[in-house]
């Protein structure tokens, strides 16, 4: 039987003053980096939010909502593409000065980052008796550094509202068996369609009541929008929903989906539908199978993370601000690494692998695929292996995580 490792003197010294100083330096160093990452030259001046507000003004003037179009240097032409229910919620903001709307969206996104990060990190903190304030603060700063968060804030996107609804539902309401389980996922789906993948997650995890309630909530919100704007609703659901060219060029590097990867291989031509459908079938089948397994074993966070990664790969358009799911993936990896026993050779090796994958995922999330690289305005094919990896980094990392993301074993789960 191997001998228990003996702690080094440095590990047993009681040095609260030194620990506090090191933690303070870490927090200050991370906080000091954020202004550089949010420099105006790297941001988007709330470009998407401005489109939403102009579309709302256009709609309020009596024009058809989905006729609104704005020229763009990279994408050619951009339209309002959200479902009618989202338009109903956005329309009151058009009554406010643009600066006030920008401030509200930014503050709400920041609050969403803080709240959801606390939800993700708290179980790891409690399971391993980590310093709560320091750990949560570092995690929040790292999430603000991620490209998905930067793009969400500087574009003026609504992604964090969707994340709040999904995480609240799937981490607390659904596992608790509460009567409103599924409502959050349903509302998120009515707002932006992408969260509909989590209704499939509820089905494969046999949460039948929650899946029905999520579907009913999405349908009810959609019917409410149809009653308020029947012509625009009919047009969206029968025509505009299927027109992916309204959202932007599928070959643009910012589109980190399987269809985006294939589009960059065939640009300027569109890729064949058959290879994409085959890839999607394999990815969705395998990803939801894994999500169901880990969720039924008791790891809800790993299950919903895998589902989010599947959704990003499956959707024809997955912009960089949609790829939030690397953040809970890092939490899952770090938590699993801390769970490993260090007094065995295999445990130590697995711990190193998990921490390495967590660090790599964090690095790719922060550096991103579009923030520091100009891929040009014209459609261009991927030219070599290095460019293929750089232009599809989120897609490739998502595929890796579908296979490698661990789930804590039942004996290691703590409620």
Radius of gyration of the chain (CA): 22
Whether residue 13 is predicted with pLDDT greater than 60 in this model: the reply is: no
Measuring CA to CA, which residue among 41, 19, 36, 48 is closest to residue 156?
48
Q: Within 13 Å and on the Cβ side, how many CA atoms surround 335?
A: 26
**What string of H, E and C letters represents the secondary structure of 284-337?**
HHHHHHHHHHHHHCCCHHHHHHHHHHHHHHHCCCCEHHHCCCHHHHHHHHHHHH
d(CA 53, CA 48): 9
Whether residue 414 is predicted with pLDDT greater than 60 in this model: the reply is: no
pTM of the model: 0.93
pLDDT value for 411: 46
Confidence of residue 2 (pLDDT cuts 50, 70, 90): very low
State pLDDT tens for residues 237-278. Answer: 999 887 766 777 899 999 999 999 999 999 999 899 999 999
pLDDT value for 12: 47
pLDDT value for 379: 85
DSSP reduced 3-state for 1: coil
Written as six digits, the tokens of 283 are 């990815």
Average pLDDT over residues 371-392: 89
State pLDDT tens for residues 333-370. Answer: 999 999 987 778 888 899 999 999 999 999 999 999 99
DSSP reduced 3-state for 29: helix
State pLDDT tens for residues 54-80. Answer: 999 999 999 999 999 988 777 778 889
> Which backbone phi and psi does 123 adopt, to 5 degrees?
-60, -35
Burial of 150 (C-beta count, 10 Å sphere; 0-12/13-18/19+): buried
pLDDT value for 14: 61
Q: Report the residue count for the chain.
A: 415
């Amino acid at each position: 039987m191997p001998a228990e490792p003996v702690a080094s003197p440095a590990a047993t010294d009681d040095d609260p003053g030194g620990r506090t100083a090191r933690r303070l330096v870490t927090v200050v160093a991370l906080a000091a980096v954020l202004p550089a990452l949010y420099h105006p030259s790297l941001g988007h001046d709330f470009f998407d939010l401005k489109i939403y507000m102009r579309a709302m003004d256009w709609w309020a003037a009596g024009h058809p909502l989905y006729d609104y179009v704005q020229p763009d240097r990279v994408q050619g032409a951009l339209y309002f593409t959200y479902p009618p229910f989202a338009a109903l919620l956005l329309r009151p903001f058009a009554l406010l000065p643009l600066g006030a709307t920008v401030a509200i969206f930014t503050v709400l996104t920041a609050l969403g980052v803080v709240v959801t990060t606390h939800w993700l990190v708290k179980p790891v903190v409690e399971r391993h008796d980590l310093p709560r304030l320091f750990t949560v603060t570092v995690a929040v700063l790292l999430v603000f550094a991620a490209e998905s968060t930067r793009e969400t804030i500087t574009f003026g996107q609504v992604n964090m509202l969707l994340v709040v609804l999904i995480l609240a539902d799937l981490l607390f309401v659904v596992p608790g068996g509460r009567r409103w389980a599924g409502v959050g996922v349903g509302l998120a789906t009515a707002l932006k369609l992408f969260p509909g993948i989590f209704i499939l997650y509820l089905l494969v995890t046999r949460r039948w009541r929650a899946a029905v309630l999520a579907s009913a909530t999405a349908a009810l919100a959609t019917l409410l929008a149809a009653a308020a704007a029947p012509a625009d609703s009919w047009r969206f659901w029968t025509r505009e929903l299927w027109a992916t060219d309204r959202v932007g060029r599928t070959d643009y590097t910012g589109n980190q989906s399987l269809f985006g990867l294939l589009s960059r291989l065939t640009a300027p031509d569109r890729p064949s539908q058959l290879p994409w459908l085959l890839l999607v079938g394999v990815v969705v089948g395998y990803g939801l199978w894994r999500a169901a397994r880990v969720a039924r074993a008791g790891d809800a966070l790993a299950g919903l993370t895998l589902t989010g990664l599947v959704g990003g790969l499956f959707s024809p358009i997955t912009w960089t601000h949609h790829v939030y799911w690397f953040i809970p993936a890092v939490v899952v990896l770090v938590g699993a690494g801390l769970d490993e026993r260090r007094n065995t050779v295999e445990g130590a090796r697995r711990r190193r692998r998990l921490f390495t994958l967590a660090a790599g995922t964090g690095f790719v999330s922060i550096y991103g695929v579009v923030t520091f690289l100009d891929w040009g305005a014209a459609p261009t094919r991927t030219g070599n292996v290095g460019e293929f990896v750089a232009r599809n980094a989120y897609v490739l990392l998502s595929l890796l995580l579908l296979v490698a993301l661990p789930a804590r074993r039942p004996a290691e789960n703590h409620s």
